[in-house]
Amino acid sequence: MNLPLKNPVLAEIRQQFQLERQAGRARHREIAEKLNISEGELIAAHVGAPADGLMRVTCLRPDWHALLGACASLGQIMALTRNAACVHEKDGVYSAVTEQSKVIYVRGEQIDLQCRFAHWQHGFAVEESGEKGVQRSLQFYDAAGIAVHKLFLRPQSDVTAYLALGEAFSDTNQLPGITVQFSAATAAIQDFASFLLAWEMVNDARDLYVLLAQCQGGCLSYLQQLAPEAALQVPVNMARVVLEKAAAEAFSLLILTGNAGVTQAHSGPIDKVVVMGPWLNVLDPGFNLHLREDHIASAWMVIQSGMHGLFSSLALLNQDGVLITLFASAIVPGKPEARAWADLIERLPKV
């Protein structure tokens, strides 16, 4: 049943999507921007599409905790989490799903997520036909229709398990389209005094990332107010310098990025660092990072005392003073950070 044929707006979205695909535009986000809609609205317009349609979508019920737990059955997949300036892609298997202080953790050998379900509003199982066959994914969006997390099947993934998962978590409402709701981001940390209290509770780079992300646009001001032994501004091109040096010296890095709904981590060495136009990329088997260098408005060397001594991080902020991503040393439990990493961060030129 082709429900959108009864809705001219949704029918137009489907038609325009097909035309954009035929024109060679592959990214949903870019197509949605051209159509002046959110990516979530683009996906939701294809709920109820015919079996021979270019994209077929099933609405998922919002039982996010159980759904993520069931993703272990899919086997090897690719997890994707992004914000406007950084895309983090990691291959692996979803494993143990645990909850602590209203945060859901997915911690496997490769997949490493912190999920905040208050920002998860819509979920979809998506199948899209292309030249290389059918691409299958699970996609999750916030109330504004902005993607918080995606999961893509790989050739070795269990398609039967994917189809069963989609059926088991199918929502009773399979009408196409969503209504988006926009609201200004609210910072959990409202002033520098609150920031300092939270700063004292930071134990490692993961805690630091959460703190800086919670500051929203106040992050820049708070870093500027810290003592110089705790935070110093460095040139914005230090992201490239650090990644290239880490690849050359085989440093084991912790790379954290995300959005209000999900933080995704890579922990381990990197190898292939490539610049393509405005994009600074890590292109390794099992891990890809795509960072818009032109979106980095300021970069900060941050040094904090943690459970196992001092640890050093490079925090990258956008023009609104919001955290984009954070690089640190991948910590071996019970041991301090690698001396070579600390030396690298300490030697970065200051602004």
- Over residues 117-146, the mean pLDDT reads 95
Instruction: State residue 308's pLDDT score.
Output: 72
1: pLDDT confidence band, cut at 50, 70 and 90?
very low
- Over residues 163-175, the mean pLDDT reads 97
Tell me the C-alpha distance between 296 and 317, whole Å: 6
* Number of residues written out for the chain: 351
- Over residues 12-18, the mean pLDDT reads 94
* Chain position carrying tokens 């019920």: 61
Q: pLDDT at residue 205 above 90?
A: yes
The fraction of the chain above a pLDDT of 90, given in percent, is: 84
Read off the tokens for 261.
Answer: 């709904």
pLDDT tens readout for residues 33-84? 999 999 999 999 999 999 888 999 999 999 999 999 999 999 999 999 999 9
Instruction: State residue 297's pLDDT score.
Output: 98
Instruction: State residue 307's pLDDT score.
Output: 74
141: pLDDT confidence band, cut at 50, 70 and 90?
very high
The class level of CATH for 192-346 reads alpha beta
4: pLDDT confidence band, cut at 50, 70 and 90?
very low
Tell me the C-alpha distance between 204 and 111, whole Å: 19
pLDDT tens readout for residues 254-305? 999 999 999 999 999 999 999 999 999 999 999 999 999 999 999 999 999 8
pLDDT tens readout for residues 301-347? 999 987 778 899 999 999 999 999 999 999 877 788 889 999 999 99
Name which residue leads in pLDDT, 218 or 107: 218
Task: Please state which of the four CATH numbers 1.10.12.10, 3.10.20.30, 3.40.1570.10, 3.90.1150.10 is assigned to the domain occupying 3-168.
Answer: 3.40.1570.10
Q: pLDDT at residue 169 above 70?
A: yes
Please give the mean pLDDT across all residues of the chain: 93
Instruction: State residue 3's pLDDT score.
Output: 43
Instruction: State residue 91's pLDDT score.
Output: 97
The ranges of the chain annotated as CATH 3.40.1570.10 are: 3-168, 192-346
